[in-house]
């Protein structure tokens, strides 16, 4: 199952109602066979722009981020269900990319910079972009672009 992040913006609620709203959102994930890896509460913050939902303007919201695993077919259904909740102002779901693995050894790190393979590749890429200058050994008797 792929990992996703769901950002939920809740309208301003008293603490017991806010807990109930977060629990409802978590239950949406559990009901669809997913499991939650992490829940982050980012606080009550001002929004960068006014958001309207149910003919009500919102300029501040409680920010919650769920990191969870669920099948990819369920993702759109989950987003629709979360947006139907009265307390949720906005819901966005993003796929989380796994960090790329790379191999690093002490021997390669102790080498001078010019001898490292990744630096050599960067220098080759830089050389490909340069234009060659005219040299007298090129077979042409004169420099054709001279004024």
DSSP string across 89-113: EEEEEEEPPPPPP----HHHHHS-G
What ranges do the domains of the chain cover? 3-95, 106-133
> In the structure, what pLDDT confidence band is assigned to residue 63 with cuts at 50, 70 and 90?
very high
Number of continuous H segments (helices) and E segments (strands) in the chain: 4, 4
Q: Is residue 46 within 8 Å of 59, Cβ to Cβ? A: yes
**Helix pair angle (15-31, 75-84), 10° resolution:** 150
- For the domain made up of 3-95, give the CATH fold: Alpha-Beta Plaits (3.30.70)
State pLDDT tens for residues 68-80: 999 888 888 999 9
Going by C-beta distance under 8 Å and a sequence separation of 6 or more, which residues neighbour residue 41?
62, 63, 64
Q: How far apart are CA 1 and CA 72, in angstroms?
A: 7
Q: Which pLDDT belongs to residue 147?
A: 58
Residue 20: the pLDDT is 95
């Amino acid at each position: 199952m792929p990992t996703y992040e769901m950002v939920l913006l809740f309208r301003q609620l008293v603490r017991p109602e806010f807990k109930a709203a977060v629990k409802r959102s978590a239950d949406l994930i559990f009901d669809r066979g997913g499991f939650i890896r992490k829940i982050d509460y980012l606080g009550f913050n001002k929004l960068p722009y006014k958001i309207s939902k149910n003919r009500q303007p919102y300029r501040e919201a409680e920010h919650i981020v769920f990191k969870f695993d669920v099948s990819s077919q369920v993702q759109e259904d989950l987003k629709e269900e979360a947006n139907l909740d009265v307390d949720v102002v906005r819901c966005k779901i993003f796929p989380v990319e796994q960090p790329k693995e790379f191999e690093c050894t002490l021997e390669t790190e102790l080498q001078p910079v010019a001898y490292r393979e990744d630096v050599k590749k960067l220098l080759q890429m830089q050389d490909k972009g340069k234009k060659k200058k005219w040299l007298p050994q090129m077979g042409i008797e004169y420099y054709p672009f001279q004024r």
